[in-house]
Every structure is written in C-alpha cells, then in structure tokens.
Structure 1
C-alpha cells in the first residue's frame, strides 16, 4: 500500500516555496542570506528554494531564525523539512518502484483529487498488467529502434512498479479520481482482443468504486466549439491546501510539470468540456459492458485474432479499385 502522505519531493517544493516567501517578506536578497548564515555557495540557497536538494533541518532552522518566522511557522516548516528528507522511508512503502514510475507516484501521493485525460491510452492508474506490459514494451522498442541504449529496467520490473502505484485507489482514504477515456484507447489498435477484454472488465470494476468516476468519450463526439485536445494531461489537487496544485503533461518520451495558476486554469476548463461531452458514469458502464461482450465474441474468432493480416488484402483491393478507375 503506498503512503497516504505527500512524497518527499512535494514536501521539498512546498518547503522551498515557503522559505522563498519568508525571505522576500523579510526584504533580504539571496546574497545577504548567504552572508548571514555563512554558507559557502549561493547555489545552496537556490537549490533549497527550488526544491532540488534534500534539506538539512539545521539549515532550515537557521533560515527561519534569520527571517524572524513565528513559532507556528517554525514548527510547521521544520516538520515539512523532516518529511522532505525521508525519501528512503517513503519508497519502502511501495512493493516495487522505478525512476519512470516514481515521477508519477510522487505526484499521486497525498492527493485529495486526481483528474486525467489521455487521447490514446488508458491512464496508468487504470491499466491491467497485460495492457501495461504492451504499452511499456512497445515504448522500449521505439527507444531501441532510435539507437538508444538498452532500457534501464526490464519490462516486468516497470510493470510491477506501475501496478504498485495503482494500490493508491484501494486505500481507505483514496483520492477522488476522475478520468475521461477516449474510445480510441480501447480500440482494436491498442492490443489483442483478450488483453482489451480484460482491460474493459477492470474498468467496469473500478467504475463501481464510490470515489472513481470514468467517462468514455466517443470518437465522433463534439467538444465545445469543435475543440480538439492536443495532449494527455493530469491534474493533481492535494489534501494539504498549501501544497500547490500540479499539472503533468505526459508526452510519451518526455513529461512536463507546472504549478502555474493560469496554466492550470486552462486545463481545468478543457477537462470540464471533455467530461461534459463524454458519456455519463452510468452510460460509460453500459458502454464498457457492451464493448467487453463484443470482444468476448471476437476472442474466439480467427479473423479477430489475426486482424492485422487482413490489412494488406484491404490495401490491395483499394489499389485495384484505383487502378480500374
């Protein structure tokens, strides 16, 4: 079971933001702070304020003294500093973890609400083992084809780490989770019928949870004034209201994170447009059940099992028609 509290990385960001605010309120520049506390390098303060280094409680205590922080602020920020330094203890609470999955595990921990949209994939927190393995193996094949080094993690290790993240939704204090799923993410291009059927059945089970809301967006449904969402994204709202809301834009081979209020506001609007355009929760369950039934029939069909083999014949027939014309 993953930790219920926020990750040390999120604690570092929160600590850095508050320390920068206190410094600016006190009217001190970075150079003045370094001179007062006797640090050898200005970069130490910069890394601390930007959440890029593990904080030493003694260093934090010296800064709070310099800034004249009140007793309540000192107690709170020193507690956050202790949380921010315990990365090893935090990771031990996961049965498996890899650097790639850790990026998202750090965001998911301590969340009160998660909203996700992906135009072509089932979000990681909802994937079955089979679906997850297909996605991970296919991405690693692209990296190999591009001449990159061998993946640092074996596919099964990466899959195990992704599944470890998913137990977040089984916690007694699980976050509110809402996802908009494009119909394409569950189409025949996504995997063999037996893998897709298992994925559809799992989505049905998850959709029954009181804190999970799933909405399928049919491929021909209009969004707003013909709006087309260009990328996958996730929005994280934390139990501690002082932890900044965070946006993650997942781009396949690169990820972008932002806590800028104006950026988040736009993505929140887009998410509501898509959620409103998509099927309701009950309609989505009906859609998932029907789609699972269709795949159950397809699993025993030779044509379905070897669907990709019919594509060349279709192309030949299309070519022959063009030649006749």
Structure 2
C-alpha cells in the first residue's frame, strides 16, 4: 500500500508544474477542461481525493502524452485509493489514521519521542492505557479498543518484507516518568529492548536528560520523518497537543533532518540504550502472579 496522502502531494506537484510550464492560469485550465476552478485548485494543493477522469481532462488540455501522461495517471489512481485506515478513521482517531497513511509505503521512518514511548513499538496494554487516557483524540465514535487494534495493525508494517527501516530517539523523560501503571511500563520497556536487539531494521537510542546536543539543541516537541521511494516528497509530522503539523517544504524538512542527526549524535549508543532500558525495567516491580 502506498501513502495516499503523499501520492496526493506528488500529484499536486506534477499538475502544478505541467500547468506552469505551459503558462496557463488555473482559471483558464478549468474552463478548457470543463471543470470547476475549485477542482483544479484543490488538486494542485492536494486538498481532495482525485478523480482519475478529472485528471485525464486536465492532461488532455495541457497536451500531456506518452510516458509523462502514463506516470501522472498512475499517480492519480494511487492517490485516489482508500487505505485500510479510511474505513476506521472515526473509531481509531483521526491522528492515528493520518499516521497509518504516512507510514504506508515509507522506506524509512525516523522519530523523536519526547514524552511518550513510540507507537510503533507499544505493547497492546500500553496502547490500551494511552488510548483510554488521551481523550483529546476522541470523537463521537472513538473506540479505545479499536484504536489499539489499529495500532497493532500499523506495527505489522515493520515486520513486512520490504518494510521500512525504523529509527527512534526516545527522551529519557519518556522512560523515567510513568505514563501508565508501572507494571505496564515495565513490560513496555522490555518489549522495546527486545525489538531493538532482535530486529535489524529497528534502531533505538535513548537521549539522557543531562546530555548536551550540538549547539545545545533542545527540541520543542516530538516529530516523525517519513521518506518514500519514486521521488515522493519527504514528510515531517510535528506532534502538538491536539493535532499533527505536517511539513513538506524542503527547507522545513531539512531543519528536522539536521535536528534528528544531532539528537542521534547526542544520544546513547544502541548498546547503551538497550542496557538502560533493561536496567530501568528491573527497578519496576513485576505484575502480581508473574515469575520472578
């Protein structure tokens, strides 16, 4: 599955470039293609699910033929598809549906988690506790149980053949400050340690609270960086209290690429991070009934 969100961005860039190369206004193109001006505008701004018929009308008026036409039609077709997350957006939460969309088809995912442990490495119990607590993402139809099922579905992409490489820098604060019951946190930390040690596609770094980054780098929020094949744009999603801010401008993206590299440089090595995760877990009492 390819990210339909990213494919819409790619389609928008292709259509805008083709129109500007022909020195044609969006109004003139819309009239010639027999389409509302808002349709052309929304396609060029990636603000609608494209109809392949509308895209073909636009290409006809722009005189696009051959391989260039085939490429754009294919992008439009993929951008118009519906992912598994579309059918369950209301019950899983709009923010998680957007994450699932951005993760689809990514070749690499890099994250900085400041206050919570990464969703792609959460246990079902941890995800359940957070889904029940994070009421800001609740809609009228939100279902914490279905939200957990969706998170587990998202995690399958890391195990899929050809799935993305995943790197995460976790602030020590997210490890030390319990965001769930301590017994759940213990299992969660061991779960991250296990995947970090056994899956070569997963890299985990812990950032100590007293560590200085290059230039005294102090991130203001968590963020995720998604890269894709086939010249699709790199996307940055910045975590805010109630929503995710999506950045696509190359200058903005470049800032976060540099920031991530600085965080990795300042963080503990993979082995040191693995050791700290396990040492922290060992200080937390096991659940009642578990073997010592």
The TM-score with structure 1 as length reference comes to 0.82
Kindly indicate whether the alpha-carbon contact (under 8 Å) linking 1:249 and 1:257 is maintained by their aligned counterparts in 2. Answer: yes
For 2:177 and 2:88, the matched residues in 1 are separated by: 36
Q: Is the 8 A contact 1:223 1:274 kept in 2?
A: yes
Corresponding residue of 2:248: 259
Q: Are 2:70 and 1:80 aligned?
A: no
- CA 1:133–1:166 in 2, change beyond 3 Å: closer, same or farther? same
Residue 271 of structure 1 is matched in structure 2 by: 260
Q: Distance in 1 between matches of 2:70 and 2:287?
A: 64
CA spacing shift, 1:89–1:271, aligned 2, 3 Å? closer
Match for residue 69 of structure 1 among 64, 76, 94 = 64
Q: 1:63 to 1:300 in 2, by over 3 A?
A: closer
CA drift at 1:90: 7.5
What residue in structure 1 maps to residue 178 of structure 2?
A: 189
- Higher mean displacement: 57-66 or 243-252: 57-66
Tell me how far 1:254 sits from its aligned partner: 1.7
Q: 1:160 aligns to what? A: 149
Superposition CA RMSD, Å: 2.3
Question: Which of residues 267, 276, 299 is equivalent to 2:286?
Answer: 299
Cα offset, 1:45, TM superposition: 0.6
Q: Following TM superposition, where does structure 1 have runs of at least 4 consecutive aligned residues deviating by more than 4 angstroms? A: 88-94
Residues 226/10 of structure 1: CA separation in 2 closer, same or farther (3 Å cut): closer
Matched, 1:248 2:237: yes
Kindly tell me the number of residue pairs found equivalent between the two proteins.
286
Alpha-carbon contact 1:10-1:243 (below 8 Å) kept: yes
Distance 1:93 1:136, change over 3 A: closer
Q: Do the aligned residues in 2 keep the contact of 1:8 with 1:90 (CA within 8 Å)?
A: no
Aligned match for 2:4, one of 1, 8, 15? 8
Contact 2:4 2:83 in 1 (8 A): no
Give me the whole-angstrom Cα distance separating, in 2, the residues matched to 1:225 and 1:56.
48
In structure 1, list runs of 5 or more residues that go unmatched.
144-148, 302-325
5+ unaligned residues in a row in structure 2: which ranges? none
Equivalent residue, structure 2, for 1:216: 206
Distance 1:283 1:19 in 2: 48
- In the superposition, the TM-score normalised over structure 2's length comes to 0.91
Q: How does 1:43-62 map to 2 (within 5 A)?
A: 43-62=38-57
Q: CA deviation at 1:300?
A: 6.9
What do residues 219-277 of structure 1 show as CA deviations (whole Å, max 9, x unaligned)? 1111123221110101111022x211101011131211010111111111111111111
